[in-house]
Amino acid sequence: MRRGQVRDYVVGSRQVRVLVISSDNYPYPAPWGLLVSPPRSDHETPGRLLVRLRPDDPRAGEEVSIPAVLRIDESAVRTDCGFITNETMNDVERGLRAFLELS
């Protein structure tokens, strides 16, 4: 798995999607990811940072939920959906910095 990749992922009996956010060059015991889901509404949900996937991204129109950080169990990873664009990854990084109050 590589940074910026969207993968189908199994959590219990549900299949969801995750965006890999771990660096390709730093060996973690398990990669970090963010949940990707269909949009819930046309407005941002209070208390949540959401990044909408662009038309050139896999799963275009779906949303990356910044607070939904998880460790990815590689045995639960399924289909490779592709890589998000650099522009979208920059938006995700800005969202993570805002969420962690690093900016």
How many domains, the chain?
1
In this predicted model, what pLDDT tens digit does every residue of 52-102 receive, in sequence order? Answer: 999 999 999 999 998 889 999 989 999 999 999 999 999 999 999 988 888
Q: Is the pLDDT of residue 43 over 70?
A: no
Contact 36, 19 (CB under 8 A): yes
More confident residue, 83 or 39: 83
Cα 58 from Cα 60, distance rounded (Å): 5
Structural domain that includes position 80: 5-99
Mean pLDDT for the stretch of residues 17-22: 94
CATH number at residue 30: 2.30.30.110
What is 42-82 written as a DSSP string? SSPPTT--EEEPPTTSTTTT-EEEEEEEEE--GGGEEEEEE
- Cα of 94 vs its chain's centroid, Å: 13
More confident residue, 103 or 39: 39
